[in-house]
Chain A
Amino acid sequence: MKRLSRAHLLWIAVAVVAAAAVLPFWLSAYLLGVLTAAYYFGVFAMAWDLLFGFAGEVNFGPTFLIGVGAYAAGILNSVLHWPMVLCIVAGAVAAVIGGLLMALPALRLRGPYFGVITLVAVLLLQYAIVIFAGITGGEIGMTVPDVLSIDANVNYWYALAFLVVCAVILYTLSRSALGLILQATGQDAIEAQALGFNVTKHKIAAFCVSALFSGVAGAMLVFYMGTASVDTVISIAIDVQVIIAAVLGGRRTILGSILGAVFLILANELLRPIGQLNTFVVAAIALAVILFFPDGLLGHALRAGERE
């Protein structure tokens, strides 16, 4: 991977997607299930990368947006019996509202202060779900009556298609004027403002887009698994994993997040035999990447390509 430039990236991406699409003919249902989860995770991480990598917002609460989308969809389906597609749309709307709520303090606070708020948002959401156990299922979680599909292959293709659509949209956005302005804002908000960009508008847009994708992915994950629980979409453990995935893959690359997510989920599965220590090893690997390749896997490869 020495001479990897952005032009090559497109062809590599097409080849990888094509290869991924035919995987169900070779792999066991179990491995497909693992990859399906990894793909949704990839969307979580990409949405996070847009906020953190580009807009420079220290968002420690990706699972706040994911959780709001997932639980809104889940509750509407299990309590009000709305059809699944409507639930996913409603989940997306709820997540965007959550994103706007998060953007509000982000306009006033910077760096670690905002980071604390987002972490607190996750904790509060978690407590709220436990307190309103009547409709949310509390700590045990809830079951939704509808599922995307009962066929592992179909579920896998749904996830893959969703991932590709999200990746194309988010990558295009990140290479567009919006992405550049966000990057400028993240590095020096005052200068960006002096250049005549409406920083507030772009920041809010970034939060809305990130929330939209997080929410839809969260809602789809719920309908893929048939359940929603704190441990699968909200807990700090999941929260940190989303961040690890994006940082591992490489900040500011969007596509790297997918790499990070697949690597992370596969590593978690492969290391299952060593039991309790598996999270330890995964965290250690991520720490090593941060220390030795701070640009992440894809970021490192891209940078090496540009230098030649």
Chain B
Amino acid sequence: MLALQILIDGFAISSLYALAAVGFTLIFGVSGVLNVAHGGIMVVAALVGWFVAGQLGFGTYIGTVAGIFAGLLMAYATYFIVVRPIERSRAIPREETEIFILTGTLLWGIMIEQLMAYTFTDNPVTLRPLIGGVVNIFGVRTPRNEILIAAVSWAVIGLLWLLINRTQRGKALLAAAINPRGLTLLGFELSRIYLLVWTIYGLLAGIAGVLLASFLGVASSNTGPLTASAFAIVVLGGLGSVEGSLVAAYVVGYLETLTAYLVAPTLRPIPPLLLLILVLYFRPQGILGRR
């Protein structure tokens, strides 16, 4: 029974991790940006969703939409206030752009965290489940909301797959990841493509944030750990590899759930970190990454 419980709980949390990490890896793959403010964007979506739904009394559904919208706005803000000015700055040498973006988004993430703590306090908040009730799966009582979260996560990832592989704009994204200069020569505006990536990213992070709030609850102090876990998943899977991130999300999700159930809940974050070090040491490009 415990095994099944771990299987089900692990699946839900892993799906959510996958959703949160896919956007992160997409941005890196297409524009080479490592957005360390990632956790902050998820937290904003979660807290705004909770505020609109509960405190303003608009209900869970409007709250969810508001939260996702807030995530999108934060993604745009990150791009226009921090990332784009650094990319375009002439005072910053080309080879150091990456490091500047890392430091810049790190600071931006801290600003978001502090502002959220100031506005909404540091207490964890929980969004009310989108659907109530419990179902019995072979004797394991599972909240319907947990199933919904896994389903929504996969539906969104599926839509993303369709967008990238079956539409022209999506294929342009893929091309930008492989050869940005070639794409420009074909008459595509790179800045438009980047904007599209950040839009997709904002929506993904927003949805993930809101779902997380209705599953485990979110506090402003989660900013750092959320970024760290997304970063760990993405690096574990191979930077820029979407499939790798999906695999890694399940590895991390299940490893955490196993630790929480079998060893101690407080030790939950440790095994994935150790695994990350081991994998990076023996296979620096990650599970499915390219060099």
Residues in chain A within 8 A of chain B (CB atoms): 58, 105, 108-109, 111-113, 115-117, 119-120, 123-124, 127, 131, 187, 236, 240, 243-244, 247, 276-277, 279-280, 283-284, 286-287, 290-291, 293-295
Decide if B163 is an interface residue (CB 8 Å cutoff).
no
Interface size class of B (residues with CB under 8 A): 35 or more
Residues in chain B within 8 A of chain A (CB atoms): 34, 82, 85-86, 89, 91-92, 95, 98-100, 102-104, 106-108, 110-111, 114-115, 117-118, 224, 228, 231-232, 235, 239, 267, 269-270, 273-274, 276-277, 280-281, 284
* Selected contact of B277 from candidates A120, A243, A286, CB within 8 Å: A120
- On chain B, the residues within 8 Å of A113 by CB distance are 235, 239, 280, 284
- On chain A, the residues within 8 Å of B232 by CB distance are 116, 120
Check A276–B114 contact: CB distance below 8 A. Answer: yes
Check B110–A279 contact: CB distance below 8 A. Answer: yes
| Shortest beta-carbon distance from A78 to chain B in Å | 24
State A240–B91 Cα separation when bound (angstroms). 23
6 closest A-B pairs by beta carbon, nearest first, are A280-B114, A287-B107, A283-B110, A294-B92, A283-B111, A283-B107
| Shortest beta-carbon distance from A296 to chain B in Å | 11
Which chain B residue has the least Cβ–Cβ distance from A246? Answer: B103
Check B99–A108 contact: CB distance below 8 A. Answer: no
Q: Can you list 7 residue pairs at the A/B interface with Cβ under 8 Å?
A: A58-B99, A105-B277, A276-B114, A276-B117, A279-B114, A280-B114, A290-B100
Check A276–B118 contact: CB distance below 8 A. Answer: yes
Q: A115-B102, A291-B85 are in contact. Are A280 and B111 (CB under 8 A)?
A: yes
Check B102–A247 contact: CB distance below 8 A. Answer: no
Interface of B is mostly: helix
- On chain B, the residues within 8 Å of A187 by CB distance are 95
| Shortest beta-carbon distance from B42 to chain A in Å | 17
Check B111–A284 contact: CB distance below 8 A. Answer: yes
For chains A and B in complex, what number of residue pairs have CB atoms within 8 angstroms? 96
State A276–B228 Cα separation when bound (angstroms). 23
State A133–B1 Cα separation when bound (angstroms). 34
Q: A113-B235, A236-B224 are in contact. Are A294 and B107 (CB under 8 A)?
A: no
Check A116–B235 contact: CB distance below 8 A. Answer: yes
* Selected contact of B273 from candidates A123, A287, A291, CB within 8 Å: A123
Check A116–B280 contact: CB distance below 8 A. Answer: yes
* Selected contact of A112 from candidates B114, B117, B239, CB within 8 Å: B239
Which chain B residue has the least Cβ–Cβ distance from A116? Answer: B235
Check B228–A247 contact: CB distance below 8 A. Answer: no
State A280–B3 Cα separation when bound (angstroms). 45
Check A116–B118 contact: CB distance below 8 A. Answer: no
Known: A112-B102, A116-B276. 18 other contacts (CB 8 A): A58-B99, A113-B235, A116-B231, A116-B280, A117-B280, A123-B273, A124-B273, A127-B267, A240-B110, A243-B103, A276-B114, A277-B114, A279-B110, A280-B114, A286-B107, A290-B103, A293-B91, A294-B91
State A111–B102 Cα separation when bound (angstroms). 10
State A117–B231 Cα separation when bound (angstroms). 11
Check A294–B89 contact: CB distance below 8 A. Answer: yes
State A160–B95 Cα separation when bound (angstroms). 36
Check B270–A127 contact: CB distance below 8 A. Answer: yes
Check A291–B276 contact: CB distance below 8 A. Answer: no
- On chain A, the residues within 8 Å of B89 by CB distance are 291, 294
| Shortest beta-carbon distance from A185 to chain B in Å | 13
| Shortest beta-carbon distance from A300 to chain B in Å | 9
| Shortest beta-carbon distance from A150 to chain B in Å | 35
- On chain A, the residues within 8 Å of B115 by CB distance are 277, 280
- On chain B, the residues within 8 Å of A280 by CB distance are 110-111, 114-115, 118
Check B235–A112 contact: CB distance below 8 A. Answer: yes
State A123–B269 Cα separation when bound (angstroms). 9
Check B277–A244 contact: CB distance below 8 A. Answer: no
| Shortest beta-carbon distance from A260 to chain B in Å | 13
Which chain B residue has the least Cβ–Cβ distance from A120? Answer: B273
| Shortest beta-carbon distance from B248 to chain A in Å | 13
Check B228–A105 contact: CB distance below 8 A. Answer: no
Check B277–A283 contact: CB distance below 8 A. Answer: no
Which chain A residue has the least Cβ–Cβ distance from B91? Answer: A294
State A177–B243 Cα separation when bound (angstroms). 46
- On chain B, the residues within 8 Å of A105 by CB distance are 277, 280-281
State A286–B109 Cα separation when bound (angstroms). 12
State A131–B95 Cα separation when bound (angstroms). 40
- On chain B, the residues within 8 Å of A244 by CB distance are 107
| Shortest beta-carbon distance from B74 to chain A in Å | 15
- On chain A, the residues within 8 Å of B273 by CB distance are 120, 123-124
State A290–B106 Cα separation when bound (angstroms). 12
- On chain B, the residues within 8 Å of A293 by CB distance are 91
| Shortest beta-carbon distance from B105 to chain A in Å | 9
